[in-house]
Structure 1
Amino acid sequence: MMHALHRSLLLHLLMYLGPYALGSEIINGRKVPENLMLYMASVQSNGGHVCGGFLINEHFVVTAAHCERLNPTSVVLGTHNLQKVDNNTMRYRVKTCKFPSYVNVGKGDDIMLLKLSRKARLGKKVQPIPLPNTEITVKDQSKCRVAGWGLTRTGGKVVDGLEEVVVPIVNLEDCKKKWGHIRGNLPANVICAGGYGTDKGFCQGDSGGPLVCSGKAVGVVSFNMRKNCDYPNVPNVYTNISKYLPWIKKILKQNNC
């Protein structure tokens, strides 16, 4: 049932997106050990996984703004296996806090906070991930990680276990040139990593997961081209979190949006 719901929601999102593909469905990755990436969140709609996300404090999860179209109703924390969810302790209802100027993926600002209905229970299975303290530029070719639940290849199957992959940061100007042949200008405030030039990255469906570099979440999975997931013809695109720190800090201080 969960797989059927997941596939239905992914198809709905793809029909809306047209040329874009969304998600942190991990291509050529590996299973994440249960004691690592304790910040990962499964963003769900009526009990079915629709997007990735990551915990940044006891009250908020970060995900992609385009995930709002899938009507996220809760997040699951504390498990890498979505077949093993204790609804009483792992599931948290959420309020969406989309970045105010977000319109669509192509125009950027693809970031959203989810306010948890109660404080996250931190411990051996749940821990937040730090964000950059100030605006940063990640060095080209830096090795970073991206993780998520979802398809493992074009037309593949939905997985229940969290997977991760190491991806290199792509020079932003090179990324703009590659994308320029397809859609014109990239939106502002993005980071490119993986995809073009590698056989690793993400594919369509379950966005919002973190791009993690040196132990900090620096990007939010946003989009790629949907027609080629196994060997993407352009780099994968992430929202640059450091560009949104003032907005994030304001919401965290208010503890509301």
Structure 2
Amino acid sequence: MRFTRFARAVLLVLTMLATAFAASVVPASAAPRPTIVLVHGAFADTTSWDGVAADLRGRGYTVVVPDNPLRGPGYDSAAIEKTLAGISGPIVLVGHSYGGAVITNANNPNVKALVYVAAFAPAQGEPVMLALDPIRFPGSQLLPPALQVKVVDDAQAIGGKNLDGYIADDAFHRVFAPDVSDATAATMLAHQRSIALWANIEPSGPTSWSATPSWYLVSAGDTVIPPAAQRFMANRIGAHTSEVQASHVALVSQPRVVADAIVAAADAT
């Protein structure tokens, strides 16, 4: 009888200890994964993220790919902030190319990490065009006649019209996406969206990277934003920096590498 009572007491104590231990470890393992928000750049639309989004979703992440209006950092970041406001829990905010200027100007307390993929990361008061300075950072092929302009309907512009830039059909594959197949380049060209010229000269507002940990994936073979400019910006913002041997569109040509860089940021949150 005494042994039975003793055994029950020991069992009760062990059960209580096990429960207390389980309670102490559950919060860490149950911490929510961040939602990944992918912001596309100029001369592209949301489909440019398809490969990366599929990879991340396959790893169990919730991925949101909002439309970037491509009108200017102030206007576009406000549009992205509306998407961020509808997301609960931590967020990793990712920008490609001009999308980097947009995430730099977007602010939301749930954003725990920023990831720049061959992207502009302007300082406050700086237009993105400074990163294409041919004296400091030679090598960009985003110049006429590859770069063309056209008048477009734009409800946000004075008079309902705006002047947009786009890449000429015969230069798109060579300049923008030289490391993808002809078929993929043709699909990307079909999805090309022009960007307001104002977006390139609008001064950037207060920078989100000043208070948010940042990661930067440099495209070492980029002929749009020169790699030297990317390294300069990555260093200036104190980003965790890695490189991929890819063109400007590493998110299309090497989606696994880009997804790995995003996951590294997500793991750090």
With structure 1 as the length reference, what TM-score do the two structures score? Answer: 0.28
Specify which structure has the higher proportion of helix: 2
* TM-score normalised per structure 2: 0.27
> Which fold has the larger relative contact order, with Cα–Cα distance below 8 Å and residues 6 or more apart in sequence?
1
